[in-house]
Amino acid sequence: MSKPIILVTGGTGYIGSHTVVELQQAGFETVIVDNLSNSTADAVEGVKRITGVRPHFEQADCCDRNAMAAVFDKYPGITAVIHFAASKAVGESVEKPLLYYRNNLISLLNVVEEMIAHGVFHIVFSSSCTVYGQPAVLPVTEDAPVQPAASPYGNTKQVCEEILRDTAVSSALQGVLLRYFNPVGAHPSAEIGELPVGVPQNLVPFITQVAAGVRKELSVFGNDYHTPDGSCIRDYINVVDLARAHVQAVNYLSEGKNKTAMEVFNIGTGKGLSVLELVAAFQKATGIKLPYRIADRRAGDIEQVWANPGKAHALLGWRAQESIEDTLRSAWKWEKKLMC
């Protein structure tokens, strides 16, 4: 009996590659589609070294409808899609909004249209806690209202969720919308990890590059927020824990457990850490003193947000397992490998 095939768009990226590992270890066959705009094909070999199986890889752009049609034609056994392919940096989206709207919306439209055309009706969508804006109540549950987006990136996630809900009304499409909090860390093997192109847009790779001497110091954007130490608070989730949530979501759909056509889950630890607390945790986990300076606030940043992941615990059977110290040590191990 052949294995179920899962199409993973953006599968050579940070979260995508870790998810491919977890899918293969759970017995799925995987097909990666990625245009390598913010990643490299080395991730495919990293997955093979971890799992012993090389995933199928198609270098293609999800914004190219014909290319996506060709992928579905080539792999008629696809049973579900996990859609990661998107531009994802809040700050960059403020500077380049049209790039974000074009890439993030058109890629989803093409993927969903080809899914329906080829009779594939299960999708797991990579969404974000940014859709909550600055929640009035913390920790935030899935019932919290979606707020006006603080950035074009956040708005694309809101619009994509709406596209999927509207499509589910008019078709057999069913899905899980995973609202991530802040993915950090790397696979414990150090075979795959976060590999930013150019200046890192995310906090932890910037921290590890400063620790490695690649960059002079870390900029902490704002120390005058209404938080205990003045810096922004986020819920930092280990990327392997996050990847496992996608496997659970695929199983949830395939077993017909979903109560609605598009079901939302928060994927976080349930605990908030400030930027300065994360810096202190890194220093404690690695023994490395980290130089940093306080910089001006950054456009589009939310003051504080962390998850109530109770729904994911109850319905997906998923919960975060890795400590922040082990997570940061895995990020540092990955950075040291990149230095070799």
User: Across 134-279, where does the E strand assignment appear?
Assistant: 174-180, 182-184, 218-221, 233-234, 236-238, 262-267, 273-274
Other beta carbons less than 10 A from residue 170's beta carbon: 8
User: Across the chain, where does the E strand assignment appear?
Assistant: 5-9, 29-34, 56-59, 78-83, 122-128, 174-180, 182-184, 218-221, 233-234, 236-238, 262-267, 273-274, 292-295
Take residue 9 and report the two structure tokens written for it: 């768009």
Nearest to 240 by CA among 196, 186, 191: 186
Take residue 66 and report the two structure tokens written for it: 């014909």
**Read out DSSP for 273-312?**
EEHHHHHHHHHHHH-----EEEE---TT--SB--B--HHI
Peptide bond into 139 cis (omega under 30): yes
How many whole angstroms separate alpha carbon 302 and alpha carbon 131?
A: 11
* Residue 59 · residue 51 · CB < 8 Å: no
How many whole angstroms separate alpha carbon 246 and alpha carbon 134?
A: 25
How many whole angstroms separate alpha carbon 55 and alpha carbon 34?
A: 12
Take residue 133 and report the two structure tokens written for it: 């804006």
Other beta carbons less than 10 A from residue 66's beta carbon: 9
Other beta carbons less than 10 A from residue 27's beta carbon: 9
User: Across 71-207, where does the E strand assignment appear?
Assistant: 78-83, 122-128, 174-180, 182-184
Active site residue ranges: 153
Q: Assign 42 to helix, strand or coil.
A: helix
